Amino acid sequence: MRGPHDVGGLQDGPVDTEAHPLTFWEKQIDGLRAAVGAIGLVNTHENRAAVEALGHDAYNTLAYYERWTAALCRLLIDKGALTQDEIDARVALVRQRLAASGELESGMESP
């Protein structure tokens, strides 16, 4: 069975040939990924393998840099750089902060 990333030769719709510039958030993730790469913590191959391991549902639902974020999270936990507990706690904190400052899309206030 093909992995979710293995799409070469499959059918699909028209290509959206418009080039959409990266958002602020996407640039942040690209920069963060490059920074952990530059210190040798996570390399390109590990990132790619972790993205491919997301499974069909997550891979096909998430946007490109959302996949990178999910992969980076997994790798940082696997390598002992961060723990799931501290990530969960920080996510809750960031969510509260963004809700308070009005930067959160409505409906995102709770998990």
Partner 1 sequence: MSEEHHLHDHEHGSVHAPPQPDDKVHSYYQILGIALKELLIEKGVVSADDVRRQIERRDSITPANGARVVAKAWTDPAFRKRLLDDANGAVSELGFEMTTAKLVAIENTAGEHNVVVCTLCSCYPRDLLGLPPSWYKSRAYRARVVREPRAVLAEFGTHVPEHVVVRVHDSTADMRFLVVPERPEGTQGLGEAELAALVTRDSMIGVARASAPNR
Please tell me the count of residues contacting partner 1 according to CB under 8 A: 62
Amino acid, single-letter form, for residue 44? T
Please state, in angstroms and rounded to a whole number, the distance separating the CA atoms of residues 7 and 24. Answer: 28
Please state, in angstroms and rounded to a whole number, the distance separating the CA atoms of residues 34 and 36. Answer: 6
DSSP 11-59: -------S-PPPPHHHHHHHHHHHHHHHTTSS-HHHHHHHHHTT-HHHH
Q: Minimum distance between the CB of residue 111 and partner 1, rounded to whole angstroms?
A: 7
53 binds partner 1 (CB under 8 A): no
Q: Minimum distance between the CB of residue 41 and partner 1, rounded to whole angstroms?
A: 7
Using the rule CB under 8 A, which residue among 1, 40, 54, 64 binds partner 1?
A: 64
10 binds partner 1 (CB under 8 A): yes
Give the footprint of partner 1 on this chain (CB under 8 A).
5-20, 22-25, 27-32, 34-36, 38-39, 41, 44-45, 48, 51-52, 62-66, 69-70, 72-73, 76, 81-82, 86-87, 90-91, 93-95, 98, 103-105, 108, 111
